[in-house]
Structure 1
Amino acid sequence: MEQKEFQLHDVVEMKKSHPCGANAWKIIRMGMDIRIKCEGCGHSVLIPRRDFSKKMKKVLKKHEE
Structure 2
Amino acid sequence: MERKQFGLGDVVQMKKAHPCGTNAWKVIRMGMDIRIKCTGCEHSVMIPRLEFERKLKKILVKAPEDTP
Q: For 1:5-31, what per-residue CA distance to the aligned partner results, in whole angstroms no more than 9, with x for missing partners?
A: 100000000000000000000000000
Aligned to 1:37: 37
Identical counterparts, % of pairs: 68
Counterpart secondary structure, 2:5: coil
Aligned to 1:49: 49
Q: TM-score, normalised to structure 2's length?
A: 0.93
* Amino acid corresponding to residue 63 of structure 1 in structure 2: A
* RMSD across aligned positions (CA): 0.5
Please give the alpha-carbon distance, in whole angstroms, between the structure 2 residues aligned to 1:32 and 1:53: 12
Q: TM-score, normalised to structure 1's length?
A: 0.98
* Amino acid corresponding to residue 5 of structure 1 in structure 2: Q
Name structure 1 gaps, 5 residues minimum: none
Please give the alpha-carbon distance, in whole angstroms, between the structure 1 residues aligned to 2:59 and 2:5: 8
Structure 1 stretches (4+) deviating beyond 2 angstroms?
none
Q: How many residues align?
A: 65
Q: For 1:43-65, what per-residue CA distance to the aligned partner results, in whole angstroms no more than 9, with x for missing partners?
A: 00000000000000000000012
Counterpart secondary structure, 2:40: coil
Please give the alpha-carbon distance, in whole angstroms, between the structure 1 residues aligned to 2:4 and 2:50: 11
